[in-house]
Structure 1
């Protein structure tokens, strides 16, 4: 949710013509087109997952919604990850380099960086807490553990691999 909120903030600031956000330019066309699908599939995946945690594996409709939303999410997140994976090390290095330069000059850290780190840590702690709280709901799912992975899941993984290779080849 933190990632969705921060991306939504950048989206709003760019399209309301904030100069600081406009300098970076528009989002990439493919990623901009896929963004609503990624957000919708993420919400459907999380929502159906919570519903299944409450009800167990019995409602076939919820299981199908969860699987289909996962397949859409997996395909779109794969494209998203492969579009940005090369930039991440550079962004991290720049962020830490600027931090070191500020420390050498005796300047304080900007509030934005502290807030970003704090929000990410808070989200991770809340997610871990939620996972521990949901452990008792795992019992009805024990029978699913030994099932073979077949069908659309295998197809989705194959599509993700082909998409990733296509994105990498297009970038060269």
Structure 2
């Protein structure tokens, strides 16, 4: 196990610690840094990035994990985009049975609503094709589905669909 903390991970973690995140999460980050540098480095060495299937990652704290903060950040970017693309932007949101999926969907809905985007949030889990249909049915600017598809249960994901579903 590596006991050396990565300088980039330290910088990213410090940004998180200086941000308005929950105090319990700040304590958890400091604890991870002190007790398990390898896990800390993995959680913060990079930022989770969109790939061909959206965002996917382990559900954990850190810039390299799927968590309410990275979901919020991704959704802020989407809100900025749909607000620039449409005078009356709207986004449909669905989620599957993964752990934390309803919470991540609610975070996305809250961020969008705070940015003046109309939100269609399903009240229970739905399959991805239903989200695609809902985007077209409601004439949405975009859609989000919280799912990690075929990835193991420790993962979750965030997929974006445009107006064509």
Same fold, TM exceeding 0.5?
A: no
Q: TM-score range by the shorter chain?
A: under 0.3
Structure with greater proportional strand content: 2
Structure with bigger gyration radius: 1
- TM-score normalized with structure 2 length: 0.24
- TM-score normalized with structure 1 length: 0.23
Structure with greater proportional helix content: 1
